[in-house]
Chain A
Amino acid sequence: MITIWELVYRLTVDVLGIWKPYVFPSPIEVFKTFKHLLSNNILIVAIIASMQRIIIGYLISLILGIVLGLVIVRYKYIDENVSALILGIQTLPSICWLPFAVLWFGLNDSAILFVTTIGSTFAITIAIQSGIKNVNPLYIRAAKTMGANGLNIYWNVIMPASLPTIVSGMKQGWSFAWRALMAGEMLFATVGLGQVLIVGRDVADISQVVAVMIVIILLGLLVDKLIFGKIEANIRYRWGLNSN
């Protein structure tokens, strides 16, 4: 694939001259830029900054999302009044919260953290809610006849039974958070992957832009496949949901 890429580059940029070099990067250039960004630490610093933000943002959204979800399930009154609102808000792309966040927090990291957290929080809340509501009542009845009650049922039956739904909500929340973070960083972060991307644009260095894009994709994939992929595979195995 990289060979084809290089060939296309040679053909269109060098030979035919259809595209200017700042429009279409060569893989060799991208790789060189990548090494350069690594050697002067820009990339590492950016990755660390972005990872720090996403981990903090995601953890906050996890805690908020779970608490909010549990409260909604527990209190019918809140459920009736808040659930529709949350579903509505959820259709709003996280980055649309940015102007709101800027007015609240100013042009700083807190605003970025806010947009990172908000979409993910609601995705997790909704997953908790629908996961718990869809637990097969037979499991709860069975648990009751075996002497489980109150918190025991919650902990030993309702939570594990709704885990498949909750984990896919967590995964969705993660991807919302990651996208919102990148968008936020591109707008006004002083450090971070999104910011390096924007610098690439400012200096018209397409190689840098593509190199950073690749890093963003790889990081996203890594978390998606390695962490959530593993958890989901484990759940699917236990429940017998694998096709093979």
Chain B
Amino acid sequence: MGLIIENISKKFISKHNQMHALEEVNLNINDGEFICIVGPSGCGKSTLLNVVAGLEKSCEGRVCLNGNVINGAGPDRAVMFQESALFPWIKVIDNVEFGMKMAGVPREERRNRALKYLKMVHLTKFQNSYIHELSGGMKQRVALARALTLDSKVLLMDEPFAALDSQTKTILQIELQQIWWETKKTIIFITHNVEEAVLLADRVIVMSANPGKIKKEFNIQLARPRKFESVDLTYLVADIMKELISEVEKVAKFEYDSDWNMEADTILSDIDNNLGAGL
């Protein structure tokens, strides 16, 4: 039972190069578990999430949800994207109702349930607004409400709070924890922010790049509700950060043709040198 990611490999082949985005990724996720994935940019986090969502096909391996092999997107796995991906041509409430409409839920029930979820994210006042009338944080909250209406066991979130200011982020983190607590969903949550990962997750997965692999797992056994100020949390964050920074450095070296050094001030002079040589 649960969500089982088995031996997933994924290559992107384009005209100029071949990208090994994922290599033999294995992950067993229990029902109701909150997983956070961190890793350097471009290590294949989004790709992995999209494979689980069924939006992208893997070259090898398979994903099973409760014993059924996943093959295509479906409402049993709600997805929240980095950009809210709300529809600008309909009102907030109709956006929230969209999934239920696709499922053929009768109009009245649909409306009631949508209102319930909008209430959960404190946006009932904006039900008749259009999307462009909302702030970034409000958009992500509507997207969260829209994902929740699917009533799926699994919720996939790709850096949903990355573009938000820290206050809004904190509020949404608290809301998300509460919702997870109440609904007992299985959540896969991608983030760049290690603190956020430790705050939310039962398990933090650190990925490495080129090829994208799981490097290390951390079980977070802190009591909930968690606070940023707690010493245990800070300690764990530092631990994971160490792991992550060495990965980020590796990627940077690779991308900047090994001129890269973590001492930032040398980079600028390097660039200057290159410019001089080019003249």
Contact = CB atoms under 8 A, between A and B. Distances in A.
B88 A238 contact: yes
A222 to B, nearest CB: 27
Contacts of B132: 239-240
Contacts of B133: 240
A146 B102 contact: yes
A238 B130 contact: yes
Identify whether the interface residues of A are mostly helix, strand, loop, or mixed.
helix
Interface stretch (A16-24, A72-80, A155-163, A196-204): A155-163
A147 B103 contact: yes
Interface stretch (B1-9, B14-22, B78-86, B237-245): B78-86
A142 B130 CA distance: 18
Nearest to A144: B73
Interface string A37-68: 00000000000000000000000000000000
B98 interface: yes
Contacts, number: 70
B187 to A, nearest CB: 15
A183 B246 CA distance: 73
A107 interface: no
* Interface residue range, chain A: 20 to 34
A233 B206 CA distance: 49
A25 to B, nearest CB: 48
29 contacts: A138-B81, A138-B83, A142-B81, A142-B85, A143-B98, A143-B102, A144-B54, A144-B73, A145-B53, A145-B55, A145-B73, A145-B79, A146-B98, A146-B146, A146-B150, A147-B150, A152-B102, A156-B98, A156-B101, A156-B102, A160-B89, A160-B90, A161-B87, A235-B89, A238-B88, A238-B90, A238-B130, A240-B88, A240-B130
Interface of B: 53-55, 72-75, 77-79, 81, 83, 85, 87-90, 98-99, 101-103, 130-133, 146, 150
- Which A-B residue pairs are the 8 nearest by beta carbons? A240-B132, A147-B75, A146-B99, A144-B73, A142-B85, A145-B79, A160-B89, A147-B102
Interface of A: 138-139, 141-148, 152, 156-157, 160-161, 163, 235, 237-240
